[in-house]
Amino acid sequence: MNKYFPKLFTPLDLGFMTLKNRILMGSMHTGLEEKGADGYKRMAAYFAERAKGGVGLIITGGNSPSKEGIVGPHEEAFTSEAQIPLHKQVTDAVKAADKDCKICLQILHAGPLAKTETLMAPSAIKSPISRLIPHEMTDADIERTISDYIRCAKMAKEARYDGVEIIGSAGYLVSTFLLEKTNQRTDKWGGSYENRMRFPIEIVKRMRAAVGENFLLIFRIAAMELMDKGSSWEEVVTLAKAIEAEGINIMSTHFVWHQAQVPTISTRVPRAAFTQVTGRLKKELAIPLITSNRINMPAVGEEVLEKGHADIVSMGRPMLADPELANKSKAGKVEEINTCIACNQACLDHAFWGKTVSCLVNPRACHETELNYVPTENPKQIAVVGAGPAGLAFSITAAERGHQVTLFEASGEIGGHFNMAKRIPGKEEFHETIRYYKVMLKKHGVQVKLNHRVSTKELAEKKWDEVVIATGIKPRVPAIEGIDHPKVLSYEEAIYEQKPVGKKVAIIGAGGIGFDVAELIMHKGKSAALDIEVFAKEWGIDFKNHPRGGVAGIEPIIATADREVYLLQRKTTRHGRSLGKTTGWTHKISLLRKGVKMIGGVQYEKIDDKGLHVRINDTAELLDVDTIIICAGQVSKRTLYDDLQAEIKNLHIIGGAEVAMEIDAKLAIDRGCRLAAEL
């Protein structure tokens, strides 16, 4: 028995197969699927690294069983035996890394969410998140699609996968058969719930017959769609039992349709918020259940299993952040885990933009064949200036490779701008990244000099082999008359120094930081990200009574600070467009529900005792605010670099110091790691 996490590391006997532990790497589309043979080579390395890292079961990204069902415009459906050798590269690599690690292929027919002109669905009803109207499937289409699923599962078996997962949730094809709002058929595939369940049941029944008994079949059920007109609890249970009866080995629970207006995996969602729903379903079934969503650390998974909410915990993004999560957990090295902070910035946002997925805190994710931290044969003395994300990422990576690194930081703590991010309600996870760096600096023997502002002279005096400037950014001060008025605060003064903020506030700049500052000053009470009940109230979820979809008829209730806040921008485009594709909408809904007034097309005229004078659509207006917080972007702090250029040969600049315009933590960490891999 494992002494740190006994439940997580108890094997699961499925009769014909044993899972070595209860940690599953959940299905994630990486974009590598769309890169042909090179993509499979990269996927093989990516999955093998996770297998080596100790995970018990891996589910691949979704594979469409037919050309009509593809999710990405360049994706290839798994329709031909000629593709089997490509998949074998992946399964062989996983088995070579750890023969006991199991891997299943996910079969995903996108239905009305497919990115193809031939998309299809039970009824010709457009999804609110798609531009295209699907064509209504004929009876022959349905029969052919079921056959496509079966062919795909048989080919998966030939490609040496241990099983398949059928995704029956999220608004993809299977799930659209289940709801009246997307299935208005009057034949045997629509109408009563018994008829609407027929499609998934036929798939499972015929698949089991085709692949035999000793092949893992997992069904991913929408246990809560989080939207009106979703399933009732009785329907969820009825479907789960019917699917179980057809020979599924494991039931996996999913908590969303992509069109739902409730955040389910972002950093503002509490850890393990949804597992109680799996717990209820577990009482109804005999087979093991998988639960998921915001289980990012082993202690969270252990607690979920301890409570009896599930038999297996799915950790998808945490495996991007740290491929060795399972081994580190097993060895009790929890502090060394690079925690997924649920930002979605390099994973889901990339997938939605059609870019290769990676991870903000681990740029090697999905880049295992090209970004490697090979031990150096030529250890160097390296000085790094600035312990923000860029300097930290560089330092631990260079030191891991064998260099002797000294890290200078002007302030009394490491983290740079992340020390402000972590103070925003809903961004508490950012503490974990700073903890990780702290532990790794120590582990790799980086000499950290805090409260040490480095001067040009000091750096030039000692003979360093390499000097890396990561001095970051400082807030931009816009040229507005009266900008020095005492009622003006920079975002640093508002967040970090916690200077008093009045009752009527104007925020100049509505980028990520403007939104975060608005969230901070409108916040009241407990952070929803730390309390499942507060979260449920804020987003109108009823976990206990489970109305249709978990949300029907429930009004969100949000506690709000007693403030009037204007969030201003010069652009006339929608507020929040620069925010993350998959998270921006949650920030916007949250602030609108808190009464923040979002105004665009603003020209700033002057600031005086009366407030902020602006022109909106060419009309002069006075916002009689008592505090103005400037969130107008940043400029690089690069004086040190500019001064040293003539003096030091091996001088490098990374992060915000190098480029202030698009800088965020994703870019800062990426630049740090890539430079450290090269030196």
Please report, as ranges, the residues that interact with ligand NAP according to CB under 6 A.
345, 476, 478, 508-514, 516, 569-571, 578-580, 631-634, 662-664
Binding of ligand FAD at residue 673 (CB under 6 A)?
A: no
Residues 6+ apart with CB under 8 A from 312: 12, 19, 22, 23, 24, 56, 57, 250, 288, 289, 290, 291
Judged by beta carbon, residue 64 or residue 344, the one nearer ligand SF4 is 344
What tokens were used for 261? 């207006």
CB of 393 to ligand FAD, least distance (A): 8
Judged by beta carbon, residue 77 or residue 424, the one nearer ligand FAD is 424
Contact, 98 vs 52, CB < 8 A?
yes
> Within 13 Å and on the Cβ side, how many CA atoms surround 528?
27
Binding of ligand FAD at residue 668 (CB under 6 A)?
A: yes
| Cα–Cα distance measured from residue 383 to residue 171, given in angstroms and rounded to the nearest whole number | 52
Is residue 172 annotated as part of the catalytic site, yes or no? yes
Binding of ligand SF4 at residue 346 (CB under 6 A)?
A: yes
Contact, 129 vs 107, CB < 8 A?
no
Judged by beta carbon, residue 59 or residue 489, the one nearer ligand SF4 is 59
CA dihedral 63, 65, 71, 77 (to 10 degrees): 80
361 binds, among ligand NAP, ligand SF4, ligand FAD, none (CB under 5 to 8 A by kind): ligand SF4
Q: Which of 40, 149, 161, 172 is catalytic?
A: 172
What b/e sequence results for 450-480 when a residue is b if at least 16 CB atoms lie within 10 Å of its CB, and e otherwise? eebebeeeebeeeebebbbbbbbbebeeeeb
Contact, 157 vs 211, CB < 8 A?
yes
One residue of 178, 340, 393, 414 binding ligand SF4 per CB under 6 A: 340
Binding of ligand SF4 at residue 347 (CB under 6 A)?
A: yes
Binding of ligand SF4 at residue 345 (CB under 6 A)?
A: yes
631 binds, among ligand FAD, ligand SF4, ligand NAP, none (CB under 5 to 8 A by kind): ligand NAP
Q: How far is CA 588 from CA 41, 417, 462, 579, in A?
A: 40, 22, 50, 9
Q: Is the dihedral of CA 391, 393, 394, 396 positive or negative?
A: positive
Binding of ligand FAD at residue 516 (CB under 6 A)?
A: yes
547 binds, among ligand NAP, ligand SF4, ligand FAD, none (CB under 5 to 8 A by kind): none
Binding of ligand SF4 at residue 314 (CB under 6 A)?
A: no
Binding of ligand FAD at residue 261 (CB under 6 A)?
A: no
Binding of ligand FAD at residue 648 (CB under 6 A)?
A: no
Contact, 393 vs 364, CB < 8 A?
no
Judged by CB under 6 A, the chain residues 364 through 403 that form the site for ligand SF4 are none
Contact, 345 vs 437, CB < 8 A?
no
CB of 46 to ligand SF4, least distance (A): 13
Binding of ligand SF4 at residue 668 (CB under 6 A)?
A: no
Binding of ligand SF4 at residue 421 (CB under 6 A)?
A: no
Q: Is the dihedral of CA 384, 390, 392, 397 positive or negative?
A: negative
CB of 436 to ligand NAP, least distance (A): 19
CA angle 400/403/406 to nearest 5° reads: 100
| Cα–Cα distance measured from residue 588 to residue 508, given in angstroms and rounded to the nearest whole number | 16
Residue 661's identity, in one-letter code, is: M
**Which residue's CB atom is positioned nearest to ligand FAD?**
388
| DSSP 3-state of 492 | helix
One residue of 512, 514, 549, 576 binding ligand FAD per CB under 6 A: 512
Contact, 432 vs 340, CB < 8 A?
no
By rule CB under 6 A, what string of x and - marks binding of each residue 410-429 to ligand FAD?
A: xx----xxx-xx--x-----
346 binds, among ligand SF4, ligand FAD, ligand NAP, none (CB under 5 to 8 A by kind): ligand SF4
Which residue from 672, 651, 657 is spatially nearest to 467, judged by alpha carbons?
Answer: 651
By rule CB under 6 A, what string of x and - marks binding of each residue 369-408 to ligand FAD?
A: ----------------xxxxxxx----------------x
Residue 460's identity, in one-letter code, is: A
Judged by beta carbon, residue 303 or residue 670, the one nearer ligand SF4 is 670
Binding of ligand FAD at residue 359 (CB under 6 A)?
A: no
Which residue from 232, 278, 237 is spatially nearest to 254, judged by alpha carbons?
Answer: 278
Other residues' Cβ atoms within 10 Å of the Cβ of residue 192:
9
CB of 190 to ligand FAD, least distance (A): 44
Judged by beta carbon, residue 385 or residue 623, the one nearer ligand FAD is 385
CB of 634 to ligand NAP, least distance (A): 6
Q: How far is CA 223 from CA 8, 315, 516, in A?
A: 23, 18, 32
Judged by beta carbon, residue 389 or residue 584, the one nearer ligand FAD is 389
Binding of ligand FAD at residue 509 (CB under 6 A)?
A: no
Binding of ligand FAD at residue 27 (CB under 6 A)?
A: no
409 binds, among ligand NAP, ligand SF4, ligand FAD, none (CB under 5 to 8 A by kind): ligand FAD
Pairing verdict, β 216-222 and 250-254: parallel
- Backbone phi and psi for residue 419, each to the nearest 5 degrees, phi listed first: -70, -15
Q: Which stretch binds ligand SF4 (CB under 6 A): 166-174, 231-239, 345-353, 531-539?
A: 345-353
CB of 555 to ligand NAP, least distance (A): 26
369 binds, among ligand SF4, ligand NAP, ligand FAD, none (CB under 5 to 8 A by kind): none
Judged by CB under 6 A, the chain residues 440 through 499 that form the site for ligand FAD are 453-454, 470-473, 495
Residue 170 is classified by DSSP as: B
CB of 656 to ligand NAP, least distance (A): 9
| Cα–Cα distance measured from residue 159 to residue 101, given in angstroms and rounded to the nearest whole number | 15
| Cα–Cα distance measured from residue 161 to residue 90, given in angstroms and rounded to the nearest whole number | 9
Q: Which stretch binds ligand FAD (CB under 6 A): 166-174, 512-520, 560-568, 645-653?
A: 512-520
321 binds, among ligand SF4, ligand FAD, ligand NAP, none (CB under 5 to 8 A by kind): ligand SF4
| Cα–Cα distance measured from residue 554 to residue 541, given in angstroms and rounded to the nearest whole number | 7
Contact, 294 vs 273, CB < 8 A?
yes
Other residues' Cβ atoms within 10 Å of the Cβ of residue 157:
19
What b/e sequence results for 166-185 when a residue is b if at least 16 CB atoms lie within 10 Å of its CB, and e otherwise? bbbbbbbbbbbbbbeebbeb
470 binds, among ligand SF4, ligand NAP, ligand FAD, none (CB under 5 to 8 A by kind): ligand FAD
Task: List residues binding ligand SF4 (CB under 6 A).
Answer: 317, 320-321, 340-347, 359-361
Enumerate the active-site residues: 172
Residues lying near ligand FAD in the complex (CB under 6 A) are found at: 343, 345, 385-391, 408-411, 416-418, 420-421, 424, 453-454, 470-473, 495, 512-513, 516, 637, 640, 655-656, 663-666, 668
